[in-house]
Structure 1
Amino acid sequence: MPQTLAQASPNLEILLDGARNSYRAGDTISGRVSRTAPLVASHARLAIQLCGRTKSKMVVSRGQAGTSTYRGRFNLFNSERNKRDLFEGPIHIEADGGNQDWGFTLTVPSGPDPSAVVAGNDQKFSYLPLGHHDIQTHPLPPVFYTSGFFISTTYHCFVEYFLEAKLHISAAGGDEQVQRAVVPLSILPLSTPDILTEFPLTKQSFLCRISTYRFTHGEEAGGLSLGQKTREFFGSSKVPQFTFSLQVEHPVVLQVENSINIPFRLLVLPDYDQTSEAIRDSPHTVTLTSMTFEIKVSTKLICRGTLSPHTADQTRKVGADLKSAIDQRHEPIVLPSGDKAEPLDVGDLLQLNLTSLISRGVRALLKRQTARLYPSFTTYNIKNAHKLRWTLTVMAAGVTTEVSSEADLTLLPGPLGELPPYEENEELPPPVEKNEG
C-alpha cells in the first residue's frame, strides 16, 4: 500500500500550468498531457482524472503463526465525475521531433463525494459519520503521511491526491497497451488561511512561592548561617517568602509552514498579601532560567476487520529545549513585574518558531525522523491531533521554581501545501501471511 509516486516519460507526461502542485478546494486545475515519443496507431484514447484517497494499514506479527494484515481505504472523489476524456481516434506522432499535447481543465471538488466515500465501507470503520448529508459537510483532509511501530505491529497511513492520465493504445490482434502518467498534488481545504501574522492566545496564571533568607537585605549573595539553612530545608514559616502569580500567554492555534516567531508572553504579578511582611515592600527580580516547548502529535488510524475494526495509535514529540539559548545570552532574562507592566514575549526574544523544532524522545533516536508537522484533522480512517506542553523555570534571589502545563493545540494548514516525502513502508518480515478483513 505505497504512496502514489510521480510518473512521467516521453510516452506520457502531465504538465501543469504555472508548475503548480498545490490547489484549494474549488480551484480549477489546468495544464496539458504531452507525448513526445513516436507513435502510429489506428485507435487510441486518452483520459485524465483527479484521485484522492485516505489509506491505512497494519501488519501484526504473530510469531510462528505468521502475520495478519488489516487495511482501511476511503476514496474521496467519484472517478467518473472527476474524469475528462481528452482524445479518441487514430494517432500519428512522427519520430523526428514530433509531439502531441492535449489541454485539460479539472475543478477540484469542494468536499468528498458521498457515493465514493461509502463504497465498500461501514460506519464502524470510520471516525466520521457516513450519512449522505454528513459527508457533504466534511472538508477535504490535507495531504498527510506517517508510519510507526509498536512491539509486534507496524503501521502507516496517508492522505494523497494525484492526477492520473492513461493512454490506451489499440494494437494489432485486439491487444491494448496502457501508458500512464501521474502528478501528486496537495489539495488544501476551502478554509485554509493565508499566512497568519497573529495567533490566538490563551492566558493562564500560576501561583509561585519562593522562600529563602536571601531576600533579607544584605544576604542576596549568600552567607547563610547553619540555622537559616536548616529552617529553609524544613520549610519553616519563619523563612521570608515571596509569592507571585506567573501569568503565561501561549497560542492555542498555530500554522504549519509558518516561520514567524511563536508568541509566548510572561508577566510577574506579586501577591503582597501572601508575601512575608519583612520583604513585602522590597522589589524582587524574577528571571527565566530555562524553558522547554513541546508539541505532542497524536495520530490514530482504523482498519477494517472481519467482525470489528482494528486500530493503532502513536504519539511523537517535536520541540525545543531553550535552556542553552537562555544561557548564551549576555544578560539574564528579567521578567516584567506588576499589573501595569507589559508582558515579555520570550518566544520572540528566543526566536521560537515551528521551523526550529526537532524530534524528541527515544523513538526519534531509534528511527530517522524529521520534525515535519501536519495540520490537525479528522478524516474517515485517520485522526491527527496536537497538544502543546511547556515547562518554565524561574528564579528569584538564587532560588528556582518550575511551572508547566499542557493544552489542546490546533495546527492549521499552511497555504503552500507541501507534499509529504515518499517513504518506503517498513514491515515485519512474515514467514507466512494470513490476510484478514
Structure 2
Amino acid sequence: MSFIRTPDPELSIKLECSSRGRLPGYIPGETIVGVVRRIAPGAIPEAQVAVTLHGKCTSKIKIRIGNSESRYESSFNCLSAPMEPQIVFPRAPLHIPEGEEMSWPFAITIPTVVQDVRRRDQRKLYVLLDGPNFPPPASFATYSDSSFTSGEKSRASVEYYVQAKIELVHVHRGFARKTTHTATAPFRMKSVNIGPPITDFNLKRHQMTHTVVAYKLVPGTRELSFGQKTRQTFMTSSVPRLTFKLNVILPHTLQVENTSPIPICLSAEPVVGSTSEIIHDVPQTIIVKSFMLRLKQRTRVQAEDQSSENSVAVNLIPENAISALGREVSLTVTPCTGGQSEESAPINIGEMLDFRMRRHNLHPTFKTYNVGRSYDMAWEVEGRVAGEKFKLGFMHQARVLPGPHELLEFERPAPAAPPPGALPEYPGLEEAPPAYSA
C-alpha cells in the first residue's frame, strides 16, 4: 500500500492508493479511506480537525483582438455544495509530545448522485447540462490554443480532492487567537458502468447510392476507343451504367476498455431501374480497396457568456487496414431482369480487421456545467467497379461509454437516495446505461 502525501509541515493527509506514483481513483459511491497527521509538538488549549470532500468544474477563456484581451472564468462545485465536513477530532485540548505525532483516520463516501447547483440566471448561460440530478462527472482536463488563428485560448478541468483542516486556538496575553492549517490530497474520479462489458454496440444501418458509368461493365469489353472514352467521361446515355446501394452497418456506441470484437458489415444491392438493360443478369464485382473509421471528438468549454469548441480526430481503423490484409475484399451484385435483385452476401470488416477498442485513450461522452465532450463517427469506403474508382462516406453522432466495472455483492456501496421522482441521468445518451446502484 502506498500513499499520496502533501508537504505541509503542520498537517498532512494520506489517501490509500493501490498503485505507487499515481493518484488514487474512485467511482461515485465508493468510500475514500485515509489518515490525517500532525507532527508539530506542543500543547494546544483547543483544537479541531475536520475532513471535507471537494470537487470543482472550472473553465477559462481568453480572447485577444489586437492589443486587447478579454478574460472569462467560471467555477462550479460539482459535488453539490455544501458538503458536510467530517469532524475527526472535536474541539478539545491537543497535546503532542516532542518526537511524537497524532493521527486521525477517516472514511468519507463519494455521493452517487449530485444536484444542479446553478443559479437561475446561470442556467440561461450554461446550457450544457441536461437534467437536475446526475452522477458526479469524471476527472477531466482540456486545453486549446488557437491564438494564431482566432486569438482564442480555452482551458477547463474537473478536479477532486480531500481537504483536511485543523483549527488551533492559542491564548496570548489573555486573548484567544485562532490559526488554521490545511492539507489537500487530490484523487481521480473515474467514470464507469457497473457490470460486465457491453455486447450491444447499438448497430445501425447506413445506405448510400452510387452509379458507375463504364463500358467495361459489359463482359468482354476491350481497350476503349477515343470516342468511347469521351462518351464515358461525359457519362452519356449510351454508356452502360450500374447503380447500387452500399449498406454499412456500424456501431453507434463504443465503450472504453471494452476489448470485445465490434462488427462492421458491408453489403450491396443493385438498383435495377437505374441500371442499363445490357448488363441485367450480369454479376458485377465491387472491390473494396480501403475502409477508414475515425472518431471526431468535440470539446466545448463555456465561461460566462462565452463558449469555445475544438475538435480532434482519432483514427480507429486507418485507411491502409484493408490493403494490409494482402487479399482482395469484394462484394458481388447481380441486377436481375424482371425480378427482385438480391442483396450481396455481407462481409464483416470488423471481424476481418479484428476491430476492438484498444488503448485509444478516449474520455467518455459527458456534459457538466461548463465543459462537455461529444463524438461524431466518420466512415469512408473507397472501391473500384469495372476499373472505375468511387468513394463513399458519412458521419453520424456516436457515444463513448465509460469502461466496465464489476463489483462483488458485498463491495457494492449503498446508493444515496435521490430526490423523489428524480433518477440519475446520463446527459446526451439516447438510453441510460446501467445505474451506479445494484
| TM-score normalised by length of structure 1 | 0.76
| Cα separation, partners in 2 of 1:375 and 1:192, compared to 1, 3 Å | farther
Equivalent residue for 1:58?
Answer: 61
Contact kept, 8 Å, 1:125 with 1:381, in 2: the verdict is no
Q: Once the 2 structures are TM-superposed, how far is the Cα of residue 176 of structure 1 from its aligned partner?
A: 2.4
Which residue of the partner structure matches residue 159 of structure 2?
160
Structure with the larger helix share: 1
- CA 1:187/1:251 → structure 2, altered by over 3 Å: closer, same or farther? same
User: What's the offset of the Cα at 1:156?
Assistant: 0.9
Aligned partner of 2:88 in structure 1 is 86
Aligned equivalents of 2:308, 2:121: Cα separation in 1: 18
Could you say which residue in structure 1 is the equivalent of 2:411? none
CA distance in 1, matches of 2:164, 2:257: 30
Q: Does the 8 Å CA contact 2:266/2:348 hold for their aligned counterparts?
A: yes
Match of 1:21 among 7, 21, 24: 24
Q: Separation in 1 of the partners of 2:169 and 2:263?
A: 62
Code of the aligned partner of 1:377: F
| 2:284 equivalent in structure 1 | 284
Query: Partner of 1:434 in structure 2?
Result: none
Q: How far apart are residue 349 of structure 1 and its match?
A: 1.9
Give the stretch that moved more between structures: 274-283 or 329-338: 329-338
Structure 2 CA distance, aligned partners of 1:257 and 1:91?
Answer: 50
Specify the SS of the correspondent of 1:162: strand
Name the CA distance, whole Å, in 1 between partners of 2:263 and 2:145.
Answer: 34
* Higher RCO (C-alpha 8 Å, min separation 6): 1
Pair 1:141-2:137 in alignment: yes
Kindly indicate whether residue 328 of structure 2 is the aligned counterpart of residue 326 of structure 1. Answer: no
- Confirm or deny: 8 A CA contact 1:44 1:91 kept in the other structure: no
Specify whether residues 395 and 36 from structure 1 end up closer, same or farther in structure 2 by C-alpha distance, changes over 3 A only: farther
Per the alignment, in what secondary structure is the counterpart of residue 284 of structure 2?
coil
Aligned residue runs from structure 1 range 245-394, under 5 A: 245-304=245-304, 309-320=305-316, 322-335=318-331, 339=342, 342-355=345-358, 372-394=361-383
SS in 2 for 1:324: helix
User: Shift in Å at residue 313 of structure 1?
Assistant: 1.9
1:374 Cα offset (Å): 2.0
1:192/1:412 contact within 8 Å kept: no
Give 3-state SS (helix, strand or coil) of 1:230's partner.
helix
Name the SS of the counterpart of 1:205 in structure 2: strand
What residue in structure 2 maps to residue 362 of structure 1? none
For 1:172 and 1:345, how far apart are their aligned partners in 2?
79
Contact 1:82–1:106 (8 Å) recurs in 2: no
Question: After superposition, where does 1:79-158 map in structure 2 within 5 Å?
Answer: 80-88=82-90, 89=92, 90-92=94-96, 95=99, 100-114=102-116, 117-118=117-118, 122-127=122-127, 135=132, 137-150=133-146, 151-158=150-157
**RMSD, aligned CA:** 3.2
Q: 1:178 to 1:248 in 2, by over 3 A?
A: same
Distance 1:41 1:399, change over 3 A: farther
Change (3 A) 1:201 1:103: same
- Give, in whole Å, the separation in 1 of the partners of 2:80 and 2:215: 74
Q: Distance in 2 between matches of 1:35 and 1:156?
A: 34
Looking at structure 2, the residues matched to 295 and 93 of structure 1 have their Cα atoms a distance apart, in angstroms, of 61
* Maintained 8 Å contact 2:218/2:240: yes
* SS at structure 1 position matched to 2:297: strand
Range 401-410 or range 16-25, more displaced: 16-25
Give the Cα–Cα distance (whole angstroms) in 1 for the partners of residues 283 and 321 of structure 2.
27
Unpaired runs of 5+ residues, structure 2, are 334-340, 406-438
How do 1:220-235 residues align onto structure 2 when only pairs under 5 Å count? 223-235=223-235
The TM-score with structure 2 as length reference comes to 0.76
1:380 alignment partner AA:
Y
CA 325–28 in structure 1, closer or farther in 2 if over 3 Å, else same = closer
SS in 1 for 2:83: coil
Q: Tell me, in whole angstroms, the C-alpha distance in 2 between the residues paired with 1:374 and 1:169.
A: 43
Cα offset for 1:211?
2.1
Residue 210 of structure 1: which of 212, 224, 244 is its match?
Answer: 212
Which string of whole-angstrom CA distances, capped at 9 and with x for unpartnered residues, describes residues 195-249 of structure 1?
2233011112111222222222234xx6223232222112122222222211111
CA shift for structure 1 position 250: 0.9
| Residue 181 of structure 1, aligned match among 171, 180, 184 | 184
Structure 1 residue 260, shift from structure 2 partner: 3.9
Q: Distance in 2 between matches of 1:269 and 1:255?
A: 32
**Structure 2 counterpart of 1:264, one-letter code:** I
Shift of 1:321: 6.2
Q: Distance in 1 between matches of 2:234 and 2:145?
A: 47
For structure 1, the residue ranges without an aligned partner over 5 or more in a row are 1-5, 358-371, 417-437
CA contact (8 A) 1:193 1:413 kept: no
Pick closer, same or farther for the CA change 1:320–1:410 going to 2, 3 Å.
closer
2:413 is the alignment partner of 1:414: no
